[in-house]
Amino acid sequence: MGIGRAKLPVSVASALHREIHDNYSARVFCISKLVSTVSRARGDTQSLGSFVTKRVLIGITLLATILTSQEIASARDLTSRFNVQAQTACEAEMLGRIDAREIFSGKEYYVLAKVARAYGRAIPHIYIFPGSWNMAYIAASTAVDGRGKILVGQLAIDRFHTRALEGFLGHEMAHLVSDDAAQGCDDYILRSPQMEADADALAARTLGKRPVKKFLEQALMLTEGQNWDAKRRLQILHSR
């Protein structure tokens, strides 16, 4: 899942840069004429005019550089704001599409609050969606408000006991805190087996092995032993 990156037209920056350049060129021309006139009256046109004009040019060039840098920084800030807006819109569309609703209480909320404290992070937004016992986090969602968003299938709440739910949420929290926001909610992110094992390991270091072990064991049980990924990860967890 991810966000299409918002691209800003360079025309705004280019137009402003041209305007700065044209205005300063006009000012240099006017100041040069004034210096030449004063210099001729003093009989020292070439030396004084050349020296002062050079000093004026240096000053204006530095000022133009500073203003251009500020303008570039403003453009970056604007790009960042546009990306956050696109991310927010993407998240809203996705949550609506899967009929997810945010919750603020209940077993799963309090378990997530405990997990977040263990990670030293703010409690992520938690959304429940029907018809699944899976979980996911929304890529780059921490870029919006620093909290991020975790999606929990209703069946996970119904079928996972508290300790296993803690391990499951701890696993997703590991993905969330490791997310560098380089991809957004519309980008397809393929989780490799190593990425999953690393998330298990981080969750185990943060919460202890027991919740993660219970999560993987219950996932294996719910699939009647056919979840080969859970089986392999459980073996890796035992070996560490």
Q: Residue 49 CB: number of other CB atoms within 10 A?
A: 20
The reply to whether 75 and 108 lie within a common domain is: no
Q: Are residues 106 and 82 in the same domain?
A: no
How confident is the model at residue 118, as a pLDDT? 98
- Contact predicate 93/186, CB 8 Å: no
DSSP helix/strand/coil, 121:
coil
Q: Are residues 17 and 63 in the same domain?
A: yes
Give per-residue pLDDT as tens, 141-157. 988 899 999 999 999 99
Q: Both 76 and 161 in a single domain?
A: no
Residues 150 and 43 in one domain: no
* Sheet (strand 101-103) strand order: 101-103, 125-129, 149-153, 135-137
| Residue 26 domain flag | yes
As a residue count, the chain comes to 240
Last residue of a domain, one of 56, 71, 90: 90
Give the closest residue to 227 by CA, choosing from 240, 218, 238: 218
Q: What is the mean pLDDT of residues 30-42?
A: 36
pLDDT given for residue 182 in this prediction: 73
Res. 220: pLDDT tops 70? yes
Task: Report pLDDT digits (tens) over 54-110.
Answer: 433 333 333 333 334 444 344 344 444 548 888 999 999 999 999 999 999 999 999
Query: Would you state the pLDDT for residue 189?
Result: 65
Mark whether 29 and 60 lie in a shared domain: yes
Residues 128 and 85 in one domain: no
Q: Work out the average pLDDT over 17-31.
A: 36
Q: What does the alpha-carbon distance between residue 12 and residue 103 come to, in Å, rounded to a whole number?
A: 42
* Contact yes or no for 1/175 (Cβ under 8 A): no
- Look at residue 1 and tell me whether its pLDDT is greater than 90: no
Residues 84 and 103 in one domain: no
Which residue has 């080969």 as its token pair?
A: 228
Question: Residue 35 falls within a domain, yes or no?
Answer: yes
Is there a domain that residue 56 lies in? yes
Q: How confident is the model at residue 124 (pLDDT cuts 50, 70, 90)?
A: very high
Q: How far apart are CA 230 and CA 112, in angstroms?
A: 21
> Residues 107, 225: one domain?
yes
| Of 124, 214, 198, 220, nearest in space to 162 by CA | 214
Q: Of the candidates 76, 102, 80, which has an alpha carbon nearest to the alpha carbon of residue 91?
A: 102
| Segments forming the whole domain that contains residue 27 | 11-90
pTM summary value: 0.65
On whether residue 3 sits in a domain, the answer given is no
- Choosing from 69, 90, 111, the residue where a domain stops is 90
The rounded distance, in Å, linking the Cα atoms of 15 and 224 is: 64
Q: Are residues 45 and 137 in the same domain?
A: no
Is 6 a domain residue?
no
* 194-219 pLDDT tens trace: 999 999 999 999 999 999 999 999 99
Same domain, 210 and 228: yes
Of 90, 112, 141, which closes a domain? Answer: 90
